[in-house]
Amino acid sequence: MLDEPVAADPATDLRSPFADLPAGAAFGTLVHAVLEAVDTGAPDLPAEIAARCQEQLIWHPVPGATLDVLASAVLAAMVTPLGPLADNRTLGAIAPADRLPELDFEYPMGGNAMPTLGGLAALLRRHLPADDPLAPYADRLEHDGLGTSTLVGYLSGSIDAVLRVSGRRFLVVDYKTNLLREPTSPGVEGLVSGYRPPRLATAMMEAHYPLQALLYSAALHRYLRWRLPDYDPTTDFGGVLYLFVRGMAGPETPDGCGVFSWRPPAGLVVELSELLDGGSR
């Protein structure tokens, strides 16, 4: 998938609330900590966000990240609609009972056989339609000899959040603070238009986030299978939201900006889980 250059006008395009905040791993850790700690059940969400920002700036100080600017930016991200997968709700509107932050997981990979990235690429080609935004990722998995790489040993990690919507549909959520630069359009990284859906799909594949999303999906599938009575992946597994917060500017955010939504077919998630087991069921 080739991304088209961004046609942006800094004078008129919506500016990112994060434009004056720093980039880098330390800032990402700070934002993740704030989003994990915010209590969406608090009666005053802006005050709650400000309090959590103040608290986390003590634990995760980042030069250039001031309290007022950080709190304002996080609030904007938390009141941005998340799109159809989340019933157009916002992070701030998800009750604490419907949000499970930092879901830790660990599972073995490779049982009766040694699964490979090439095997995963074959699954993607079999399940994803040609117009799926991540369909081209199958080719990336086989470039530079990656296809023969094995998926063995123990995989451990933590999903930033699992959201429950529509009563019994569960979403994988991952927060990203990436600064998406455009060599052909300097300065667009400070605009919400720099985080529109096609650019996000490209950024996802460049960073191999689809692989992360798929492994997280398999982890959530297994968790729900163990914990949810009468679990049905076709209805209970709701998909994946990668939230690029620099493109999230509140209710006025253009549709899709900052929010990468993807619902891999249930069959893909189930077969991936089986592949990671080495083909066992």
Do both 180 and 102 map to the same domain? yes
C-alpha span between 77 and 281 (Å, rounded) = 40
Instruction: Examine the domain organization and report whether 176 and 266 are in the same domain.
Output: yes
Q: What is the pTM of this model?
A: 0.94
Question: Over the Cα atoms of the chain, what is R_g?
Answer: 19
CA distances for 80 relative to 21, 72, 138, 192, 281, angstroms: 18, 13, 31, 12, 40
Identity at 18, one-letter amino acid code: F
Residue 187: predicted pLDDT: 84
| 271 and 208 together in one domain | yes
Picking from 143, 91, 96, the residue whose alpha carbon sits closest to that of residue 121 is: 143
Within-domain flag for 11: no
Three-class DSSP labels, the chain:
CCCCCCCCCCCCCCECCCCCCCCCHHHHHHHHHHHHHCCCCCCCHHHHHHHHHHHHHHHCCCCCCCHHHHHHHHHHHHCCCCCHHHCCCCHHHCCHHHEEEEEEEEEEECCCCCCEHHHHHHHHHHHCCCCCCCCCHHHHCCHHHHHHCECCEEEEEEEEEEEEECCCEEEEEEEECCCCCCCCCCCHHHEHHHHCHHHHHHHHHHCCHHHHHHHHHHHHHHHHHHHCCCCCHHHHEEEEEEEEHHHCCCCCCCCCCCEEEECCCHHHHHHHHHHHCCCCC
Known catalytic residue: 174? yes
* Residue 258 shares a structural domain with residue 129: yes
Residue 27 within a domain: yes
For residues 256 and 250, what is the distance between their CA atoms, to the nearest angstrom? 12
Q: Is residue 34 part of a domain?
A: yes
User: Domain for residue 10, yes or no?
Assistant: no
Mean pLDDT check: name the lowest of 139-148, 225-234, 258-267: 139-148
Q: Is 107 inside any structural domain?
A: yes
The count of domains in the chain is 2
Considering the domain architecture, whether residues 102 and 207 belong to the same structural domain is answered as yes
Residues 40, 140, single domain; the answer is no
Q: Which residue has the tokens 């597994």?
A: 237
Q: Which of 23, 6, 15 is nearest to 198 (CA)?
A: 6
| Residue 208 and residue 138 in one domain | yes
Chain segment 65-75, per-residue pLDDT in tens: 999 999 999 99
Domain contains 1? no
Question: What is the extent of the structural domain holding 54?
Answer: 19-78
Q: Does residue 213 lie in a domain region?
A: yes
Please write the tens of the pLDDT for every residue from 6-45.
555 554 489 999 999 999 999 999 999 999 999 999 999 9
- Last-in-domain residue among 78, 95, 128: 78
Q: For the purposes of burial, counting CB atoms within 10 Å of the CB of 107, is it exposed (0-12), middle (13-18) or buried (19 or more)?
A: middle
The predicted structure's pLDDT at residue 186: 78
100 plus 200 within the same structural domain: yes
Which residue, 29, 53, 78, sits at the end of a domain?
Answer: 78
C-alpha 97/C-alpha 88 separation (Å) is 18
CATH number at 177 reads 3.90.320.10
pLDDT of residue 7: 54
* % of residues, the chain, pLDDT over 70: 94
Q: What is the pLDDT of residues 129-151, one digit of tens each?
A: 999 999 999 999 998 788 999 88
Whether residue 93 sits in one domain with residue 54: no
Q: What is the mean pLDDT of residues 233-253?
A: 98
Q: Which of 13, 174, 236, 277 is catalytic?
A: 174
The reply to whether 263 and 149 lie within a common domain is yes
State whether 66 and 119 are in the same domain.
no
Residue 9 located in a structural domain: no
Tokens of 235: 């209805």
Q: Which of 35, 63, 78 is the last residue of a domain?
A: 78
In 3D space, the residue among 169, 263, 166 whose CA is nearest the CA of residue 224 turns out to be: 169
Q: Does residue 104 share a domain with residue 54? A: no
| For residue 162, pLDDT beyond 70 | yes
Mean pLDDT computed over every residue of the chain: 93
